[in-house]
Chains A and B, each alone.
Chain A
Amino acid sequence: MTKKTFILPLLVLAAVAIVPAQNKMVVDILKAGGKGTIAIPDFRGAADAQQYMGTFNSVLWSEIEGSGLFNMAPKTLYPLTVPQTPQDFKPPQPQAQPARRGAPSPAPAAQAPWLTDWSGPPVNATYLAFGYTAVKDNQLVLFGWFYNVTQNDISNAQAIGKLYFASIDDKGARKIAQEFAADILKTFGASSLAGTKIVFVSQRSGTKEIWTMDYDGSNQKQLTSYRSISTMPGVSPDGTKVAFTSFVRGTPEILLHSLETGRRLPFYNQNASMNAQVDFTPDGKSVVFSSTAAGGYAQIYRANINGSGLQRLTNVRAVEVEPKVNPKTGNEVVFVSGRSGPQQIFKMSIDGADVQQLTPGEGQASNPAWHPDGQHIAFAWTRGFEPGNFNIFIMDVATREVVQLTHGAGRNENPTWAPDGRHLVFSSRRGSSTQIYSMLADGTDVKPLTTQGQNTMPVWSK
């Protein structure tokens, strides 16, 4: 008893001690250093275009802010005169020589916009996005520019100057804002999430079905209608197929569907009490899953994409589930096993050899998900909490260093990485409602993506 109370402060100290390492890992993942401060004043629309600018400005801002690449300069600090075209920039007039030594300098004339309005205090931005929209030839047109305002010579400042076209409505305004944001992110080697999808499980129709939505929670659509239990989706690397666990024929088994047509594709299920929890190899040609094909405990197996060519990877007297193939190398599998006691995360080679325990045995660990770099995983862990109270962590697989991203706000599970490697999506039960959230890999910028019914097990796909 006394020993226990003595150990607790030590654990806290240990947790504090690894904080610097945590930050470095997150920095590595976010590649966040040195992208600078960006200013994005509100764009205006000519005549009929103005009514869509509320949508445009909020989407552009949130896309850039959500990338986590930039420090966002607050709008309240911006100069009153905002450029709308490059021609609006007027270099400062060379200061007139005072007529007589000692005479007071003339009051400076009203200064036209110049780069230093944005690069100097109080904005202190490195970058400025500006432009305007108009209706032309029955289209909504964005004239968008992106400048490095720290350049002395304006001819060197322009990084982007481009026209974007869309339909004249809120949808069009959203589209051109996303495309402009994607171009801005591309100049920093970052990819936009626009166009990516999240596959998830929703119970809002009454039974658990597979659903899809856009990366920002819009466009939520029901994919399956089995009226049974359809759960635990895995998505192929090219984003065209989803494999999930279905109870439609009694025992849990694997169903494969096209995400493009929604149709069911052939998959041969082993004659077993359980076939479940599919992940794909990076080439999309085979799958790993958990099965009782040999009787006894659920074990990790590999098979061809249609379920043929079964190959057993593990062989222990313990429950083994949730295999996930390294998306970069294709030659490693992380999985969850009870072989050492409460469920922990392990790693092995794709042929089942060289098994290593990744989580240290404390609490329960589950839901490993590879980062696209093949070097980090996100996972759910109860460390520091009662069994069942999971939080989201990330781990450097080589060093086993971990960073905690959520801190006890609800039960947080099933993290998966966005294709940009900088965002995560996860489910969180807060109160009686489980919903899907996205966040940056440092745990900030948490956004709810769903509100209706119970929503779980998100997979962020291309």
Chain B
Amino acid sequence: MGSQSRMVSQNLTARLGARKVSAIVLALSLSLFAAGCKKKAPAPPPPPPPPVVSKPAPVIERPNVTQFEAEPTTIEKGQASTLRWAVSGQTSSISIAPGIGSVDASGNRQVYPGATTTYTLTATGSGGTSTSTATVRVTNPVVPPPPTPAPPSRTLADILKSDVKDAFFDYDKSDIREDGRAVLTRNADVLKSVLSQYPNAVVIVEGHADERGSAEYNLGLSDRRATAAKEFLVQLGVPADRLKPVSYGKERPQCTESNEGCWQRNRRAHFEAGQ
């Protein structure tokens, strides 16, 4: 029995690792032993309870929400806001509604509310319940954001189709006519602006001919028409390396009737988007 208590004290000694403490504990255990003897005299004394570090009785606090906020508080629809929270005190559950559920005592979470939403954090503990709210205001943008700065909504091909006109030629001629000069002068302005908008684009200057000459001669003739149109545009300041003449002869007519109306439509320089 005595050896038992000694063992305990030795254990304690080993645990505490200080002689002074071991002496105090030994005294304490002896006193407990004496008390036990008083209660149940003949029975062997029970082992001493483990020593308890004495503590003041706990004060049970309500959980305290030290932080619950949204940053930013106002977003545009589709953007994110970050909720941040911190809860102190004893808690058995912390949750955020709507749509998030249980969370840790502190943390953050991105939310993408589709409309203005007030989030409520509820912290529950044995001391009671605390709540806090944070509101994310969601605004609907009035106008769709402009695609800044390029590309524009119209493609190069669209612009060429609507704003750059064909220049027409006389039969078996590649000289730029008076009406062709006017058309090409307007085309030059459009081309200069559109080519600066599309710094990598090249514009194809197609040369075409009517069906009457031989296919072989027309290939040479419409090459000359394409080149003449290009040279005119270059004189007006369109960069030469951005215009590529391509002769189609009579391979790609836009009409096939055998009359002057159709022949004139096919004697042309035409502009298309290149690579």
Q: Is B76 an interface residue (CB 8 A)?
A: no
Give Cα distance in the complex from A402 to B219, angstroms.
27
**Contact: B212 with A388, CB < 8 Å?**
yes
**Contact: B217 with A336, CB < 8 Å?**
yes
Q: Is A461 an interface residue (CB 8 A)?
A: no
Q: Contact size class for B? A: 20 to 34
Q: Is A274 an interface residue (CB 8 A)?
A: yes
**Contact: A231 with B251, CB < 8 Å?**
yes
**Contact: A274 with B219, CB < 8 Å?**
yes
Of the listed stretches B112-120, B181-189, B220-228, chain A binds B220-228
Give Cα distance in the complex from A317 to B131, angstroms.
92
**Contact: A273 with B217, CB < 8 Å?**
no
**Contact: B215 with A231, CB < 8 Å?**
yes
Q: Is the interface of B mostly helix, strand, loop or mixed?
A: mixed
Instruction: Specify which chain B residues have a CB less than 8 angstroms from the CB of A457 in the assembled complex.
Output: 215
**Contact: B214 with A380, CB < 8 Å?**
yes
**Contact: B246 with A250, CB < 8 Å?**
yes
Give Cα distance in the complex from A8 to B5, angstroms.
150
CB distance from A152 to the nearest CB of B (A): 57
CB distance from B270 to the nearest CB of A (A): 14
- Within B220-275, the residues touching A (CB, 8 Å) are 220-221, 223-224, 226-227, 244-248, 251, 258, 274
Instruction: Specify which chain A residues have a CB less than 8 angstroms from the CB of B247 in the assembled complex.
Output: 251-252, 273-274
**Contact: B172 with A290, CB < 8 Å?**
no
CB distance from B208 to the nearest CB of A (A): 13
Q: Which of A251, A277, A319, A320 has its CB near the most chain B CB atoms (within 10 A)?
A: A319
Q: Is A276 an interface residue (CB 8 A)?
A: yes
**Contact: B219 with A252, CB < 8 Å?**
yes
Give Cα distance in the complex from A16 to B69, angstroms.
108
- Within A235-254, the residues touching B (CB, 8 Å) are 245, 247, 250-252
A298-B219 contact given A251-B247, A273-B247, A292-B227, CB 8 Å threshold? yes
Give Cα distance in the complex from A247 to B246, angstroms.
9
Q: Is A61 an interface residue (CB 8 A)?
A: no
Closest to A273 in B: B245
Pick the residue among A229, A245, A292, A413 that contacts B214 (CB under 8 A): A413
Closest to A429 in B: B211
Give Cα distance in the complex from A252 to B226, angstroms.
13
Closest to B172 in A: A342
Q: Is A338 an interface residue (CB 8 A)?
A: yes
Instruction: Specify which chain A residues have a CB less than 8 angstroms from the CB of B215 in the assembled complex.
Output: 231-232, 413, 456-457
**Contact: A319 with B211, CB < 8 Å?**
no
**Contact: A366 with B217, CB < 8 Å?**
yes
Give Cα distance in the complex from A387 to B214, angstroms.
10
Give Cα distance in the complex from A247 to B215, angstroms.
14
Q: Which of B215, B226, B248 has its CB near the most chain A CB atoms (within 10 A)?
A: B215
Pick the residue among B172, B204, B216, B221 that contacts A322 (CB under 8 A): B216
CB distance from A386 to the nearest CB of B (A): 8
CB distance from A209 to the nearest CB of B (A): 13
- Within A211-238, the residues touching B (CB, 8 Å) are 229, 231-232
Pick the residue among A247, A296, A338, A413 that contacts B221 (CB under 8 A): A338
**Contact: A366 with B216, CB < 8 Å?**
yes
Give Cα distance in the complex from A381 to B159, angstroms.
43
Q: Is B107 an interface residue (CB 8 A)?
A: no
Give Cα distance in the complex from A231 to B219, angstroms.
11
Q: Is A350 an interface residue (CB 8 A)?
A: no
Q: Is A321 an interface residue (CB 8 A)?
A: yes
**Contact: B251 with A277, CB < 8 Å?**
no
**Contact: A273 with B227, CB < 8 Å?**
yes
Instruction: Specify which chain B residues have a CB less than 8 angstroms from the CB of A251 in the assembled complex.
Output: 244-247
**Contact: A297 with B216, CB < 8 Å?**
no
Q: Which of B217, B244, B245, B251 has its CB near the most chain A CB atoms (within 10 A)?
A: B217
**Contact: A321 with B246, CB < 8 Å?**
no
Q: Is B72 an interface residue (CB 8 A)?
A: no
Chain A 185-222, CB within 8 Å of chain B: the 1/0 string?
00000000000000000000000100000000000000
Q: Is A364 an interface residue (CB 8 A)?
A: yes
Pick the residue among A231, A273, A390 that contacts B223 (CB under 8 A): A273
Closest to B221 in A: A319
Q: Is A343 an interface residue (CB 8 A)?
A: yes
CB distance from B133 to the nearest CB of A (A): 67
Q: Is A406 an interface residue (CB 8 A)?
A: no
Pick the residue among B172, B211, B214, B226 that contacts A273 (CB under 8 A): B226
**Contact: B216 with A321, CB < 8 Å?**
yes
Instruction: Specify which chain B residues have a CB less than 8 angstroms from the CB of A297 in the assembled complex.
Output: 220, 224
**Contact: A338 with B172, CB < 8 Å?**
yes
Instruction: Specify which chain A residues have a CB less than 8 angstroms from the CB of B213 in the assembled complex.
Output: 343, 364, 366, 387-388
A336-B216 contact given A273-B223, A298-B224, A319-B221, CB 8 Å threshold? yes
**Contact: A277 with B227, CB < 8 Å?**
no
Instruction: Specify which chain A residues have a CB less than 8 angstroms from the CB of B227 in the assembled complex.
Output: 273, 292, 295-296
Pick the residue among B224, B244, B245, B274 that contacts A319 (CB under 8 A): B224
**Contact: B214 with A336, CB < 8 Å?**
yes
Instruction: Specify which chain A residues have a CB less than 8 angstroms from the CB of B212 in the assembled complex.
Output: 364, 387-388
- 24 A-B pairs whose Cβ atoms sit less than 8 Å apart in the complex: A232-B216, A251-B245, A252-B247, A274-B219, A292-B223, A297-B220, A298-B219, A298-B220, A298-B223, A321-B216, A322-B216, A336-B214, A338-B172, A364-B212, A366-B217, A367-B214, A367-B216, A380-B214, A387-B212, A387-B213, A388-B213, A390-B214, A413-B215, A456-B215
9 additional A-B pairs beyond A274-B220, A367-B214, beta carbons within 8 Å, are A231-B215, A232-B215, A252-B247, A319-B221, A336-B216, A336-B217, A343-B217, A366-B213, A388-B258
Binding site for B on A (CB under 8 A): 208, 229, 231-232, 245, 247, 250-252, 273-274, 276-277, 290, 292, 295-298, 319-322, 336, 338, 342-343, 364, 366-367, 380, 387-388, 390, 413, 456-457
Closest 8 CB pairs of A and B: A388-B212, A366-B214, A298-B220, A319-B220, A343-B217, A387-B212, A274-B223, A321-B220
